[in-house]
C-alpha cells in the first residue's frame, strides 16, 4: 500500500530548530505531565521547533502561532493528522474534515450541544454525579480516577447515545487503549474494535430509533433527503466517542488535584456554590491553567510560515497548555486567578474546528464539582500515591489520583 500522508524526511529543518523531545515520555519523578512542555519554554528552545520523535513533527509554542494554525486550515489541515502517523486513519466527522466539507456534520451536531440544549441535560448529569459520589462520601477516601473521573463522562456518553449502563467498563477499556497505546498494531486493532461497536450501535438505532444522539445521527438526511454515507455516520460516532471521554476525565483529574492541594481555592468554590456566574468563571480559569490536550495538524503544501520552511505532510503539534500561559496574552499567566475576568484560553481550540462539545464539557465539570462539594468535606491528596501514574500524549493526565477526607 502506498502511504499518502507520511511526513517527508526532515532535511528541510535547520539544525538550530531540531530538538529531541518526546511528548509521550514522562521522565521518572515528574508528577505533572504538563511540566515537560513548560520545561521547553524555560529552556528557551525555539518557539517553532522540530523533533524527530514519533515519526517527526513540528511543535508551536507561541500563542499567536497556535491560534493561526487552528484558524488557517488552508495550510494546517485536520485531515489525516495522527502522531505517530497511521494510515489509514479514521476521518472523524466533522473534526477531521476541513471547511466547507465539514459543515454538514457540524450543522447536524451543533444544535445538540448548544448552551440551551446542555442546560436541559443538567438534571441527568446531577443524578449521575450523585450516584457516583454518594457511596464515596462515607468511605473517606477514593481513587478519584477510577471511582469518578473515568466513570462520570463515560456514563454520560452512554446516556446520550441511548446505551445501557452495563457497557460502561467495555467503553472505558476501548478508550484507554485508544489514548494510551503507542503500539501501531494495538492502536489499529483498537480502532477496528471501536468501529465494530459503533456499527452495531447505529444499526440497532436505525432499526429502532430513540430519543438520543445516536438515533439523531443515523436518521438524519442530507440536502437531497437521503441518508448520510454510512462511513460518515460511523466517523461521526467515533469522534463523539473519543472526544468526549478522556479530555473530560483528565480535566476533572487536574482540577481535583489542584483543589486537593489548595485549601483556599477549594473554599472559594464552596463559597460560590450559589453563584453560578462566579463558579463558572473560576472553572474557566482552571481549564486555562490545566489544558490537557495537545492537538495535531498536517501541512497541506510546501510553504513558509513565520520564516520556517514547512513541507507537505509535515505534522504540527499544538500544546494548549503552553499557549494558555503565554505572558504576551495573559497577565501573570502562572498565577491561578479564580476571578480572572478576561480569559481567552484555547483549551477547546479556536476557529472552525473549535470543540463542538465545549458547553457540555464545562457543564459536566461544573455539575461534578458542585455535587462533590455538597457531599464531600474538605479533601486532600493521599500521600500514598502510586508511582508512575502520569502519562503524556495527545491528552495528558493521570492513571490514579488518591484523595482522602474526614468521614462525617
SS3 28: coil
User: pLDDT tier at 408 (50, 70, 90 boundaries)?
Assistant: low
Least confident of 18-27, 165-174, 192-201, 229-238: 165-174
Least confident of 44-48, 136-140, 160-164: 160-164
Cα–Cα dist 27/23, whole Å: 10
Q: What architecture does CATH give domain 15-401?
A: Orthogonal Bundle (1.10)
Is the overall model pTM greater than 0.75, yes or no?
A: yes
Residues 268-304 pLDDT 10s: 999 999 998 999 999 999 999 999 999 999 999 999 9
Residues 326-343 pLDDT 10s: 999 999 999 999 999 889
Cα–Cα dist 110/91, whole Å: 19
Cα–Cα dist 293/348, whole Å: 9
What mean pLDDT comes out for the span 307-331? 97
List, in order, residues 6 or more apart from 388 with CB less than 8 Å away: 28
Residues 173-184 pLDDT 10s: 888 787 766 677
Residues 19-32 pLDDT 10s: 999 999 999 989 99
pLDDT at 180: 66
Report which of 333, 130, 90, 370 is spatially closest to residue 233, judged by C-alpha positions: 90
Omega into 18 within 30° of 0, i.e. cis? no
Q: What is the CA radius of gyration of the chain?
A: 21
pLDDT at 11: 95
The three cell numbers locating residue 381? 491528596
pLDDT at 172 over 60: yes
pLDDT at 208: 93
pLDDT at 86: 84
The three cell numbers locating residue 232? 460518515
Q: What is the DSSP letter of 353?
A: G
Residues 106-134 pLDDT 10s: 999 999 999 999 999 999 999 999 999 99
Which residue shows C-alpha cell 450559589? Answer: 274
List, in order, residues 6 or more apart from 200 with CB less than 8 Å away: none
pLDDT at 158 over 70: yes
Report which of 319, 321, 314 is spatially closest to residue 294, judged by C-alpha positions: 319
Sign of torsion over alpha carbons 273, 257, 35, 54: negative
Q: How far is CA 249 from the centre of its chain?
A: 9
Cα–Cα dist 220/233, whole Å: 10
User: pLDDT tier at 1 (50, 70, 90 boundaries)?
Assistant: low
pLDDT at 182: 65
Amino acid at each position: 500500500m502506498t502511504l499518502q500522508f507520511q511526513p517527508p524526511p526532515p532535511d528541510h529543518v535547520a539544525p538550530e530548530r531540531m530538538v529531541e523531545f518526546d511528548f509521550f515520555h514522562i521522565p521518572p519523578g515528574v508528577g505533572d505531565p504538563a511540566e515537560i512542555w513548560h520545561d521547553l519554554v524555560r529552556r528557551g528552545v525555539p518557539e517553532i521547533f522540530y523533533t524527530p520523535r514519533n515519526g517527526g513533527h513540528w511543535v508551536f509554542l507561541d500563542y499567536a502561532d497556535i491560534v493561526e494554525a487552528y484558524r488557517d486550515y488552508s495550510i494546517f489541515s485536520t485531515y489525516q493528522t495522527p502522531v505517530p502517523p497511521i494510515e489509514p486513519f479514521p476521518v472523524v466527522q466533522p473534526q477531521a474534515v476541513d471547511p466547507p466539507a465539514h459543515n454538514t456534520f457540524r450543522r447536524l451536531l451543533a444544535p445538540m450541544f448548544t448552551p440551551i440544549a446542555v442546560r436541559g441535560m443538567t438534571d441527568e448529569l446531577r443524578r449521575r454525579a450523585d450516584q457516583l459520589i454518594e457511596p464515596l462520601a462515607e468511605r473517606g477516601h477514593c481513587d478519584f480516577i477510577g471511582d469518578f473521573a473515568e466513570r462520570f463522562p463515560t456514563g454520560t456518553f452512554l446516556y446520550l447515545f441511548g446505551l445501557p449502563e452495563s457497557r460502561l467498563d467495555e467503553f472505558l477499556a476501548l478508550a484507554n487503549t485508544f489514548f494510551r497505546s503507542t503500539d501501531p498494531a494495538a492502536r489499529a486493532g483498537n480502532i477496528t474494535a471501536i468501529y465494530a461497536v459503533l456499527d452495531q450501535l447505529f444499526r440497532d438505532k436505525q432499526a429502532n430509533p430513540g430519543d438520543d444522539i445516536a438515533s439523531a445521527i443515523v436518521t438524519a438526511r442530507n440536502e437531497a433527503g437521503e441518508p448520510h454515507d454510512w462511513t460518515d455516520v460511523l466517523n461521526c460516532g467515533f469522534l463523539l466517542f473519543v472526544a468526549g471521554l478522556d479530555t473530560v476525565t483528565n480535566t476533572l483529574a487536574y482540577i481535583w488535584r489542584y483543589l486537593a492541594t489548595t485549601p483556599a481555592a477549594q473554599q472559594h468554590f464552596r463559597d460560590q456554590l450559589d453563584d453560578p456566574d462566579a463558579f463558572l468563571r473560576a472553572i474557566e480559569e482552571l481549564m486555562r491553567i490545566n489544558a490537557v490536550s495537545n492537538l495535531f495538524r498536517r501541512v497541506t503544501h510546501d510553504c513558509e510560515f513565520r520564516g520556517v520552511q514547512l513541507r507537505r505532510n509535515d505534522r504540527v503539534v499544538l500544546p494548549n497548555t503552553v499557549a494558555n500561559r503565554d505572558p504576551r496574552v495573559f497577565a501573570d499567566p502562572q498565577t491561578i486567578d479564580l476571578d480572572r475576568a478576561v480569559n481567552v484560553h484555547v483549551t477547546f481550540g479556536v476557529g472552525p474546528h473549535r470543540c463542538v462539545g465545549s458547553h457540555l464539557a464545562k457543564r459536566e465539570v461544573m455539575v461534578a464539582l458542585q455535587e462533590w462539594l455538597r457531599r464531600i468535606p474538605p479533601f486532600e491528596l493521599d500521600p500514598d500515591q502510586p508511582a508512575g501514574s502520569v502519562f503524556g500524549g495527545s491528552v495528558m493526565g493521570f492513571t490514579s489520583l488518591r484523595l482522602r477526607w474526614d468521614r462525617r
